Structure 1
Amino acid sequence: MTSEACSGSRCARSGKLQRRAQGEDTAVLIDMASRPEKGDSYGSTASTSEPGGHQAAACRVGTPANPRIADFVLVWEEDLGRQQDTSRDKTGSHRAWRETFLDNLRVAGLHVDQRDVQGEDSAVHYVLLSASWAVLCYYAEDLRLKLPLQELPNQASNWSASLLQWLGIPNILLEEVPDVPPEYYSCQFKVSKLSRFLGSDNQDTFFTCTSRHQILFEILAKTPYGHEKKGLFGIDQLLSQGVFRAAFPLHDGPVTVPSEGLRATGLSQRQVLFRHWAHWRKWYKYQPLDHVRRYFGEKVALYFAWLGFYTCWLLPAAVVGALVFLAGCLMVFSDTPTQEVCSSTDSFEMCPLCIDCPFWLLSSSCALVQAGRLFDHGGTVFFSLFVALWAVLLLEYWKRKSATLAYRWGCSDYEDIEERPRPQFAASAPTTAPNPITGEDEPYFPRRSRVRRVLAGSVVIAMMVAVVVMCLVSIILYRAIMAILVSRSHNTLLAAWASRIASLTGSVVNLIFILILSKLYVALAHLLTRWEMHRTQTRFEDAFTLKVFIFQFANFYSSPIYIAFFKGRFVGYPGSYHSLFGVRNEECAAGGCLIELAQELLVIMVGKQVINNVQEILVPKLKGWWQKFRLRSKRKAGASAAAGQAPWEADYELLPCEGLFDEYLEMVLQFGFVTIFVAACPLAPLFALLNNWVEIRLDARKFVRERRRPVAERAQDVGIWFPILAGITHLAVISNAFLLAFSSDFLPRTYYQWTRAGDLRGFVNFTLARAPPAFAAEHNRTCRYRAFREDDGHYSRTYWHLLAIRLAFVVVFEHVVFSIGRVLDLLVPDIPESVEVKVKREYYLAKQALAENEALLGTNGMKDHRPPASEKNLSPQA
Structure 2
Amino acid sequence: MKINKQKYSKDSVFFRDGVRRIDFVLSYIDDKDDQRKQERRRVYESNLQKFGLELETEDKSESEDGKTYFVKIHAPWEVLTTYADVLKIKVPFKVNDIPENSEIPMNWLSTPFRLPENIMHPKPDYFTASFNKSKSDFFLIDDKETFFPPSTRNRIVFYILARCSYFKDECGDKDKKGIKRLLNNGTYTAAFPLHDCRYWTRSKDPNCESERYSLYKYWARFFCFFKEQPLNLVRRYYGEKIGIYFAWLGFYTEMLFFAAVVGTICFAYGFLTYDDNEWSKEICSEDIGGKIVMCPLCDKKCTYWRLNITCNSSWQSHLFDNVATVFFAIFMGIWVTLFLEFWKRRQARLEYEWDLVDFEEEQQQLQLRPEYETKCTNRKLNRITQEMEPYLPITSKCARTCLSGATVLLWISLIIACIIGVIAYRLAVYASFASIMKNNTATNLEVVAPYVTPQLATSVTASCINFVIIMILNLLYERVAVKITDMEIPKTHLEYENKLTVKMFLFQFVNYYSSCFYVAFFKGKFVGYPGNYTYMFGSTSKLRNEECEPGGCLIELTTQLVIVMTGKQVWGNIQEALVPWLMNWWGSRKARSHPESLYSRWEQDYDLQGFGQLGLFYEYLEMVIQFGFITLFVASFPLAPLLALINNIIEVRVDAWKLTTQFRRPVAAKAHSIGAWEEILGGVAILSVVTNAFIVAFTSDMIPRLVYMYAYRTHNELNMKGYINNSLSEFNILKFSTDEKPEEYPSWFTSNITTCRYRDYRYPPGHEKEYYQNMQFWHILAAKLAFIIIMEHVVFMVKFFVAWMIPDVPSEVRARIKRERYLVQEYLHNYEVEKLKIQLSQNTNECTCQPMIYPSLAKHEVLSECL
Shared fold by TM > 0.5?
A: yes
For 1:218 and 1:540, the matched residues in 2 are separated by 17
Query: C-alpha separation between the residues in 2 aligned to 1:265 and 1:852?
Result: 36
CA displacement 1:66-87 (0-9 Å, x = unmatched): x2111000112357xxx7xxxx
What is the CA distance between 1:264 and its match in structure 2? 13
Among candidates 766, 775, 779, match of residue 726 of structure 2: 766
Q: What is the CA distance between 1:479 and its match in structure 2?
A: 1.2
1:305 aligns with 2:247: yes
What is residue 59 of structure 2 aligned with on the other side?
116
2:284 is aligned, of 335, 342, 350, to 342
Equivalent pair of 1:73/1:128 in contact (CA under 8 Å): yes
Q: Aligned in 2, Cα 1:262/1:794: closer, same or farther, shift over 3 Å?
A: farther
Q: Indicate the residue corresponding to 1:675 in structure 2.
A: 631
CA distance in 2, matches of 1:374, 1:853: 70
Whole-Å separation in 1 of the counterparts to 2:272 and 2:80: 68
Q: 2:558 matched to 1:611?
A: no
Could you report, residue by residue, the CA deviation over 1:281-331 in whole angstroms, capped at 9, with x for unpaired residues?
Answer: 211011111111000000000000000000000011101101100111122
1:575: Cα distance to partner? 1.4
Do the aligned residues in 2 keep the contact of 1:412 with 1:716 (CA within 8 Å)? yes
Residue in 1 that maps onto 2:238: 296
- Aligned position for 2:214: 272
Partner of residue 383, structure 1: 328
Of the three residues 701, 726, 742, the one matched with 2:682 is: 726
Equivalent residue, structure 2, for 1:401: 346
Aligned to 1:202: 143
Separation (CA, whole Å) in 2 of partners of 1:702 and 1:219: 28
Partner of 1:540 in structure 2? 496
The alpha-carbon deviation at position 823 of structure 1 amounts to 0.9
In the TM superposition, what whole-angstrom CA distance separates every residue of 1:735-774 from its partner, at most 9, and x where no partner exists?
0010011111111111111102321111001111112565
TM-score (norm 1): 0.85
In structure 2, the CA distance between the partners of 1:211 and 1:267, relative to structure 1 (3 Å rule), is closer
Q: 1:675 to 1:569 in 2, by over 3 A?
A: same
Give how far 1:136 is off. Answer: 1.4
CA distance in 2, matches of 1:473, 1:222: 49
Q: Is the 8 A contact 2:64 2:599 kept in 1?
A: no
Secondary structure of the residue aligned to 2:92 is: strand
Corresponding residue to 2:201 among 250, 253, 257: 257
Contact 1:571–1:577 (Cα < 8 Å) also in 2: yes
Partner of 1:848: helix, strand, or coil?
A: helix
What are the within-5 Å matches in structure 2 for residues 621-632 of structure 1?
621-629=581-589, 632=591
Within the candidate set 821, 827, 833, 2:799 is matched to: 821
**1-structure distance, mates of 2:436, 2:634:** 36
After superposition, where does 1:643-722 map in structure 2 within 5 Å?
643-658=597-612, 659-722=615-678
State the match for 2:47 in structure 1. 104
Confirm whether residue 148 of structure 1 aligns to residue 92 of structure 2. yes
Contact 2:379/2:390 (8 A) holds in 1? yes
The change in CA–CA distance for 1:392 and 1:121 in structure 2 (over 3 A counts) is: closer
CA gap of 1:424–1:120, structure 2 versus 1, over 3 A, is closer
The answer as to 2:108 corresponding to 1:130 is: no
Equivalent residue letter for 1:221: A
Matching of residue 213 in structure 1 with residue 167 in structure 2:
no
**One-letter code aligned to 2:418:** C
Structure 2 residue 14 is the aligned partner of structure 1 residue 60: yes
Name the residue aligned to 2:851: none
Find the aligned partners of 2:806 and 2:316 in 1 and give their Cα distance. 40
Check the 8 A contact 1:575/1:772 in 2, yes or no: no
Distance 1:485 1:447, change over 3 A: same
Relative to structure 1, is the Cα distance of residues 777 and 510 closer, same or farther in structure 2, using a 3 angstrom cutoff? closer
Aligned CA distance change for structure 1 residues 374 and 187 (closer, same or farther; 3 Å): same
List, as ranges, runs of 4+ consecutive aligned residues in structure 1 with deviation greater than 6 Å.
31-34, 153-158, 228-231, 261-267
* 1:796 Cα deviation after fit: 1.7
Question: Structure 2 unaligned runs (5+)?
Answer: 440-444, 742-750, 765-769, 833-867
Note if contact 2:98-2:816 (Cα within 8 Å) is conserved in structure 1.
Answer: no
Displacement after TM superposition at 1:347 (Å) = 1.7
Instruction: Check 1:214–1:837 CA distance in 2 against 1; reply closer, same or farther (3 A cut).
Output: same
- SS of residue paired to 2:162: helix
Q: Rate the CA distance shift 1:521–1:156 in 2: closer, same or farther, 3 A.
A: farther
Match of 1:17 in 2: none
Tell me the CA shift for residue 491 of structure 1.
8.4
User: Deviation at 1:450?
Assistant: 2.4
**1:718-744 deviations in Å (ceiling 9; x for gaps):** 000000000000010000010011111
Q: Contact 2:630 / 2:644 at 8 angstroms: preserved in 1? A: yes
Change (3 A) 1:156 1:69: farther
1:466-477 aligned within 5 A: 466-477=413-424
Once residues 35 and 263 of structure 2 are traced to their aligned partners in structure 1, the CA distance between those partners, rounded to angstroms, is 64
Distance 1:171 1:202, change over 3 A: closer
Cα pair distance change 1:678/1:231, threshold 3 Å? farther
Task: Tell me which residue corresponds to 1:811.
Answer: 789
TM-score when normalising by structure 2: 0.86
Equivalent AA in structure 2 for residue 249 of structure 1: P
Contact 1:181–1:291 (8 Å) recurs in 2:
no
Displacement of 1:432: 3.6
How far apart in 2 are the matches of 1:627 and 1:815? 58
CA deviations over 1:421-462 (Å, ceiling 9, x no partner): 112112222334444544444333344542442232111111
1:498 matched to 2:454: yes
Counting only pairs closer than 5 Å after superposition, residues 357-436 of structure 1 correspond to structure 2 as 357-419=302-364, 420-436=367-383
SS at match of 2:28: strand
CA distance in structure 1 between the partners assigned to 2:610 and 2:100 by the alignment:
32
Identity %: 38
Structure 1 residue runs of 5 or longer lacking an equivalent are 1-30, 43-58, 634-638, 855-878
Shift of 1:608: 0.9
Match of 1:442 in 2: 389
Aligned-partner residue type, residue 118 of structure 2: P
In structure 2, the partner of 1:46 is none
Say yes or no: does 1:37 pair with 2:2: no
Within 1, Cα distance between the matches of 2:236 and 2:29? 32
Shift of 1:489: 3.5
Aligned to 1:224: 165
Match of 1:60, SS state, is coil
Contact 1:417 1:437 in 2 (8 A): no
Alpha-carbon distance, 1:33 to partner: 8.5
8 Å contact from structure 1 (residues 78, 122) kept in 2: no
- Residue 399 of structure 2 corresponds to residue 465 of structure 1: no
2:128 to 182, 186, 203: 186
Q: How many residues align?
A: 783
Aligned counterpart in structure 1 of residue 553 of structure 2, from 593, 596, 600:
593
Report if the CA contact (8 A) 1:36-1:646 is conserved: no
Letter in 2 for 1:818: F
Query: Aligned runs of 1:313-352 on 2, under 5 Å?
Result: 313-343=255-285, 344-352=288-296
CA distance in 2, matches of 1:728, 1:394: 13
Q: Deviations over 1:156-190 (max 9, x none)?
A: 899xx93432xx54632111142522222112111
**Mapped pair 1:234 → 2:205:** no
Task: Read off the aligned partner of 1:225 and give its amino acid letter.
Answer: Y
Deviation at 1:257, TM superposition (A): 2.3
User: In terms of mean alpha carbon deviation, does 227-236 or 172-181 score higher?
Assistant: 227-236
Q: How big is each residue's C-alpha offset from its partner over 1:751-805, in whole Å with a ceiling of 9 and x where there is no partner?
A: 1111023211110011111125653586574211111122333222211121111
Q: Structure 1's 620 and 120: CA in aligned 2 closer, same or farther, altered over 3 A?
A: closer
CA contact (8 A) 2:310 2:549 kept: no
Q: Does 1:783 align with 2:782?
A: no
Q: Which has the larger radius of gyration?
A: 2
